[in-house]
Amino acid sequence: MLRRLSSFSIPALLAAAVLLDFTVVYGFNLDVYAPVYKYGQENTYFGFTVAEHFKVDQPVVLVGAPRAESGQVGTVQAGALFACPINTRYTGNGSEWCEQIRSEYEDISSYSKSPDMTLTGREAHYLGKNGELLGASLASQ
């Protein structure tokens, strides 16, 4: 009798577990009717990381592109960071699409100079900032 009861209860328990496992889950902060798309240049990994952010009082999406050109003279694919307004423009050039953020230097004129290849009197890596992967990791404060 005990053997027969245990053989019956195992399939019943498995069936109950499977039925309970198929629960319905609803997303609460997802707009499926009007999604916002942003596309960047090919092979830059645009969208590798994203974060919500406020630029002054405007909400923006920060987007990392680790293989993009940073804009600094003498670097190759150092990576870039973009601030994209939350709108329906998904490609283009201009502030309505996305604006590249110059986050590595306090003064924008530093981007027109080649990177400093010495760090505190020691020789820096021979590749300098090439392939730095700026934008591979992203957080907003």
Per-residue pLDDT reduced to its tens digit, 28-59: 777 778 777 888 889 999 999 999 989 888 88
List the one residue out of 119, 63, 68 whose CA is nearest residue 86.
Answer: 63
Q: Please state the pTM of the whole predicted model.
A: 0.64
- Give the number of other CB atoms < 10 A from CB of residue 36: 13
Residue 35, in any domain of the structure: no
Dihedral sign computed on CA atoms, order 118, 119, 121, 124: negative
Give CA–CA dist 65/58, Å, rounded.
22
Which of the pair, 92 or 14, is modelled with greater confidence? Answer: 14
Q: What is the mean pLDDT of residues 55-77?
A: 85
Q: What is the mean pLDDT of residues 9-26?
A: 76
Does residue 7 carry a pLDDT above 60? no
Domain that holds residue 118: 49-123
Does residue 13 carry a pLDDT above 60? yes
Domain count, the chain: 1
Does residue 111 carry a pLDDT above 90? no
Does residue 63 carry a pLDDT above 90? yes
The pLDDT of residue 107: 67
Residue 43, in any domain of the structure: no
List the one residue out of 25, 28, 62 whose CA is nearest residue 46.
Answer: 62
Residue 107, in any domain of the structure: yes
Place of tokens 């090919």: 42
Q: What is the mean pLDDT of residues 75-91?
A: 81
Place of tokens 């100079």: 113
Give CA–CA dist 81/68, Å, rounded.
9
Does residue 6 carry a pLDDT above 60? no
Percent of the chain with pLDDT over 70: 69
